[in-house]
Structure 1
Amino acid sequence: MSRGGYVKNEKPLNSTAASLLGFLHEGPMSGWDLVAMAQNRIGSYWSITQSQVYRELAALNRDGLAERGETGPRDRTPYRITEEGEAFAAWVARDPGPETIRFPLLLSLAFGNHVEPERLSRIIAANRTIHAERLAGYLEEAKCHTGNAYGAATLDFGITYERAVLDWFDRLPGLLERD
């Protein structure tokens, strides 16, 4: 088996495909089910679009990592993980490498001197609200979280992250006054 990837084509298993295989360990699911699960479970820190899910399911099926079932009600076609789909085990056990920060507000803020101050203030306030709402959602989820310890640790990261971001938002006016 290759380091973290497909056996047949010797291509590395990408994160989207790997996450779908991870979800398929729970049983057969349609693309629609996988999109909903991804949005619910990992959507706060990893984005997966509907088009990516269907594209990756087709590739996983083609490469023998997942098998397409018979189309069922509402034209939903379930997929199930195959034995070759256990390439997921190699992917999940690899060193994931460094993270990449993709925080669109930071990009806007880096060029904030080109934005009217009132407009920039509205952008900042709107983004602070998003993070406050996300923290509230995580805290609500934590009250009734009965998942495994790994899910709980991920949820704890989300809570800690959002608290840190909100602390940064609170300090931001003073940071911008230094300019």
Structure 2
Amino acid sequence: MSSRNLNATAASLLGFLQEGPLTGWDLVAAAQQRIGDFWSLTQSQVYRELASMAAVGLIEAGERGPRDRRPYSITDTGRAAFTAWLSRTPDDETIRFPLLLTVLFGRHLPPGRLAEIVAEHRKLHAERLAAYQQAREQLVGGPVDPHQLAPLEFGIRYEAAALAWFDDLPAEIRTGERPHQRGANNSQ
């Protein structure tokens, strides 16, 4: 595995290892906490990537410690591969927003079900926005690392945009009320 075929998952693990040795368990926790809102990693992916990177010399496994956990350290080859990967122009992002598929085909749901789903998701986005804003307040209270603040600001703006989108949805989607139902209700 060279920097050419280093995938984003492996590269993110090398990025975390720049800060010092970590076990697979620590890497999973770091990924969930620090990048989980914009880059998903599963535990199986982490361990698979660690094995691959160790096999090609990008990382070294240390001695097993408590609970049979093994710390991994980045090698000079790993640092070079990470730097090369980080220096390249990133691929275009791909929107994978499962709710959009549900909305697209929502006319096939029973009346009101799409509105329930949309309300659940709107609530999740509002909660995530509040958590990001709280994290920003804590981060801005001390020395600010612009590399941490910039993705957080993106998350805040993304969630604010998502909430605006939810609020601008047609009433038929937001409330589950069909246009013909509105007319029938008004004539009574």
Question: Normalising by structure 1, what TM-score?
Answer: 0.91
Give the whole-Å Cα distance in 1 for the aligned partners of 2:99 and 2:111. 14
Alignment partner of 1:141 is 2:138: no
Larger Rg: 2
Equivalent of residue 46 in structure 1, options 26, 39, 52: 39
Match in the other structure for 1:158: 155
Q: Which residue, 123, 129, 153 being the options, matches 1:129?
A: 123
Structure 2 spans left out of the alignment, 5+ residues: 180-188
- Give me the identity figure in percent: 57
**Aligned in 2, Cα 1:156/1:175: closer, same or farther, shift over 3 Å?**
farther
**What is the rounded CA distance, in whole Å, between the counterparts of 1:71 and 1:61 in structure 2?**
15
Q: Determine the structure 2 residue equivalent to 1:35.
A: 28
SS of the residue 2:170 aligns to: helix
Q: Corresponding residue for 1:24?
A: 17
* Pairwise CA RMSD: 1.8
Structure 1 stretches of 4+ moved >2 Å? 173-178
Residue 2 of structure 2 aligns with an amino acid whose one-letter code is Y
State how far apart, in whole Å, the 2-side matches of 1:102 and 1:83 are.
35
Choose the corresponding residue for 1:101, options 89, 92, 95. Answer: 95
1:83-94 to structure 2, matched below 5 A, reads 83-86=76-79, 87-94=81-88
SS of the equivalent of 1:117 reads: coil
Q: How many residues align?
A: 172
Q: Specify the SS of the correspondent of 1:58.
A: helix
Q: Could you tell which deviates more after superposition, 86-95 or 145-154?
A: 145-154
The Cα of 1:114 is off from its aligned counterpart by 1.2
Take 1:161 and 1:175, find their aligned partners in 2: how far apart are those partners? 24
Following superposition, the deviation at residue 76 of structure 1 comes to: 1.1
Task: Give the corresponding residue for 1:171.
Answer: 168
Uncovered stretches (5+) of structure 1, i.e. residues with no partner: none
CA distance in 2, matches of 1:107, 1:96: 26
Per-residue CA distance 1:98-151 (angstroms, 9 max, x = gap): 100010100111111111231111111111111011001100100111552011
Question: Which AA in structure 2 matches 1:6?
Answer: S
- What is the TM-score when the length of structure 2 is the normalising length? 0.86
Structure 1 position 173, deviation (Å)? 2.8
Paired residue type of 1:148:
D
Q: Which amino acid aligns with 1:108?
A: T
